[in-house]
Amino acid sequence: MEELKTLNRRSFLRNLSILGTALAYSQLPQLAQAQSIKDIKITILHTNDVHSRVEPFPMDGSRLQGLGGVARRSTLINQIRKEEKNVLLFDAGDIFQGTPYFNLFDGEVELTLMSKLKYDAGTFGNHEFDNGIEGLLKHFDKASFPFLTSNYDFSQTALAGKTKHYQIFKKDGVKIGVFGLGVNLDGLVDKKQYAGMQYEDPIAVAKRIVPTLKDKYKCDIVICLSHLGYSYEEDKVSDLRLAAATQGIDLIIGGHTHTFLEKPTEVKNAAGKITLVNQAASGGAVLGRIDFIYNPATKVKTITYNNYVLNSDLV
Amino acid sequence: MRSYTNIFAALLTILLFANCNTPKRVWQKETHNYKIDNSITADTSIVNYYIPFKQKLESEMNRVIGYSDNHLTRTRIDAESLAGNFFVDAMLEIGKSIDPNTQIAFANKFGIRADLQKGNITVGNIFELMPFENYFTILEISGNDLLTLIQYIAKTNGQPIAGITLEIKDGQAMNIKINKESIDSTKTYKIITYDYLANGGDYVVGLSNPLHRNDTGILVRFGLIDYIEKLTKAGKTINTELDGRVKNIK
């Protein structure tokens, strides 16, 4: 397995150096206790734009040839679940369309497989509407996980009450709030295929939901599953714009533009902190992974010295 | 885990009293993007689930319907592509078989989702080329609307077209010919496309005010399969070439 690993080395080193300074200055007796406390790690795994790619890409000379495959993804995810205690698995949309598995079986295979892989949540991409809302509902019961669709109002459609605006996951006492943002379907999907659905501005919706997750529900980590697309040359909302225009989102898991990022992009958000934007190519060729590591010892230093140099790049 | 959380809570309390600062969690982040390649063993429980679907699918998909002399590549960027030319040339023939007055075929390069390999062409190849549930639509539009459409084609650096040739300079269409003749804004033109584009999909402009619209009810994919089978029956192969129908001028 080739692993495209990137570690935020700069901030890690900075953490270390600040920790050193803090230890030298501090005389607090509870420090020894703090150092003995182990890291809490929340592992986020994610896919996007899998496009019915049940089996690996064929060896046809294309860019992603030989990559992907749900059975391999299952092996990798199971292995990570054995190694890590707190794993969450998400998908950022466009589950459907791209191989005849969708055209012949109408989404049954994709949704059943995602349930077998124990996805924790997904969001809708534009291709989820390729057979209309009725088509999407045909095998909807095969999905054992929720779809988070915060800016799609389905209340006047047959999908009413079948999706959620957000979901809060609790792992090791850490609350992870997750919501989902979809792309404007106007011009992408035939209107009759999503008739009755109301589209809301994703940035406005994020500005409404993130404070709810942070202040009301006290979420420690906020994640957005987005099918808006990574970035555009034209004046159009994207993950990079969403990140810059909002505050409080730790991670945007993106899709739609099939963007392959070797490492997540760090975007300075509206509060001057960093929001990460990641995307994992398409077709299940890549599995994205982001670990949020919380060290109580590090926290001690932060509070004691109020030294935010260390977390200037962390939300 | 409970005792651990308790120690943590106790520590927090001590610190809160020791400092007036609001406690703030500090997250160190590590990221890995794993490539899913053949070094990872397939999970047999997953394979076993989809095998019956795969068998059913393969028996339907592996049927050979024709032969292509060349590898037909698609593009999302370039002005012209082999897969694009094949697609619209087939559409124009299909259009003429439905309505003999059809002069133009128009598709969208983002909608062509796979290359066609050199050699045998199967039902599955056409499914991957055109996975969408789109239906052929024949529109009669004014010369002015056709010009609007052609400017859209130029602005998006070319789209698959048959029956039209043009040059693109700085995003503008020049030297436009409709079947080798200059465009006449007082005339009307019959154009075959599919419902998704006829309804304004992919921000297409110029198709929203047709003088006449014929929704054929023929699925694009099945139309293409039928077209290739007819070629084969006539002893012909697919021999698409690039012919400079859409050219970039520096």
B199/A191 touch (CB, cutoff 8 Å), yes or no: yes
Residues of A in contact with B42 (CB under 8 A): 69, 71-72, 74-75
Output A242 or A59, whichever has higher pLDDT: A242
Q: Give the nearest partner residue to B36 out of A54, A173, A285, using CB atoms.
A: A285
The alpha-carbon gap from A299 to the nearest alpha carbon of chain B, in Å, equals 6
CA angle A303, A173, A271 (to 5 degrees): 50
| High-pLDDT (> 70) share of chain B, % | 89
Q: Which residue has the tokens 């297409």?
A: B204
Cβ-contact A282, A51 below 8 angstroms: yes
Q: Which residue has the tokens 């995810």?
A: A77
User: In the prediction, which pLDDT does B221 show?
Assistant: 92
Please indicate whether residue A240 or residue A315 has the higher confidence score (pLDDT).
A240
Residues 135 through 194 of chain B touching chain A, CB cutoff 8 Å = none
Instruction: Tell me the CA end-to-end span of chain B in Å, nearest whole number.
Output: 67
Distances (CA, A) of A247 to A208, A209, A267, B216: 11, 11, 11, 50
Which tokens belong to B66?
Answer: 């024709």
Instruction: Look at strands A174-181 and A166-171 and give their pairing.
Output: antiparallel
Average pLDDT for A145-154: 98
Interface contact B33-A261, CB threshold 8 A: yes
How far apart, in whole angstroms, are the C-alpha atoms of residue A133 and residue B225?
Answer: 27
Query: ipTM of this predicted complex?
Result: 0.78
Q: What is the reported pLDDT for B20?
A: 38
* Location of structure tokens 């989702």: B113
**B101 pLDDT higher than 90:** yes
Q: What's the CA gap between B63 and A222, in Å, rounded?
A: 49
Supply the pLDDT for residue A26.
Answer: 39
C-alpha to C-alpha distance for B160 and B166, rounded to whole angstroms? 12
Residue A8 has pLDDT above 50, yes or no: no
CA distance, residue B180 to nearest chain A CA (Å): 32
Residue B90 clears pLDDT 70, i.e. is over it: yes
Could you please state the CATH topology (level 3) that the domain comprising A38-54+86-280 is classified under.
Answer: Purple Acid Phosphatase; chain A, domain 2 (3.60.21)
Residue A28 has pLDDT above 60, yes or no: no
Per cent of chain A over pLDDT 90 is: 65
- Least trusted range by pLDDT, from A7-21, A76-90, A104-118, B90-104: A7-21
Instruction: Find out whether A160 and A290 touch, Cβ atoms under 8 Å.
Output: no
Share of chain A above pLDDT 70, in %: 82
The pLDDT tens digits of the residues spanning A281-306 come to: 899 999 999 988 876 555 422 211 11
A114: which chain B residues are within 8 Å (Cβ-Cβ)?
none
Q: Is a pLDDT exceeding 70 seen at residue A118? A: yes
Domain ranges of chain A: 38-54+86-280
Backbone angles phi, psi at A155, to 5 degrees: -60, -25
* pTM, two decimal places: 0.71
Mean pLDDT computed over every residue of chain A:
83
> Where do runs of H (alpha helix) occur along A3-99?
9-25, 31-36, 70-83
> Which residues in chain A have Cβ-Cβ distances shorter than 8 Å to B132?
97, 130
| Per-residue pLDDT reduced to its tens digit, B200-221 | 888 999 999 999 999 888 889 9
Contact across the interface for A303 and B15, Cβ inside 8 Å: yes
- Amino acid at the residue B152: Y
Residue B6: the pLDDT is 37
Using a CB-CB cut-off of 8 Å, the residues of chain A touching B82 are none
Closest CA in chain A for residue B204: A187
Which two three-digit tokens encode residue B19?
């400092």
pLDDT exceeding 90 applies to what percent of chain B? 72
Alpha carbons within 13 A on the beta-carbon side of A220 = 19
The predicted structure's pLDDT at residue A293: 83
Q: Which of residues 103-132 of B touch A (CB under 8 A)?
A: 113, 115, 117, 124, 127-128, 131-132
pLDDT of residue A3: 33
A contacts of B31 (beta carbons < 8 Å): 5-8, 263-264, 276, 278, 288-291
Distance from CA of A186 to the nearest CA of B (A): 8
The pLDDT, as a whole number, for residue A195 is 97
Q: What is the pLDDT of residue B72?
A: 96
The more confident residue out of A94 and B3 is A94
User: CB A7 to CB B30 under 8 A?
Assistant: yes
Element spanning B147, H or E: helix B143-155
| Mean pLDDT lowest among A184-193, B93-102, B134-143 | A184-193
B4-13 contacts, C-beta under 8 A, 24 or more apart: B4/A37, B4/A38, B5/A172, B5/A173, B7/A33, B7/A37, B8/A37, B8/A173, B8/A296, B11/A30, B11/A33, B11/A34, B11/A37, B11/A296, B11/A300
Which positions in chain B touch A103 (Cβ < 8 Å)?
127, 131, 133, 221
Residues of B in contact with A261 (CB under 8 A): 33
- pLDDT for the residue A296: 53
Given a cut of 70, is residue A79 above it in pLDDT? yes
CB contact under 8 A, A286 and B56: no
Distance CA B124, CA B104 (A): 27
Tens digit of each residue's pLDDT (9 = 90 or more) over A203-214: 999 999 999 999
pLDDT of residue B87: 97
pLDDT in tens, B24-74: 556 777 777 888 989 999 999 999 999 999 999 999 889 999 999 999 999
Q: What is the CA radius of gyration of chain A?
A: 20
pLDDT value at residue B217: 80
The pLDDT assigned to B26 comes to 63
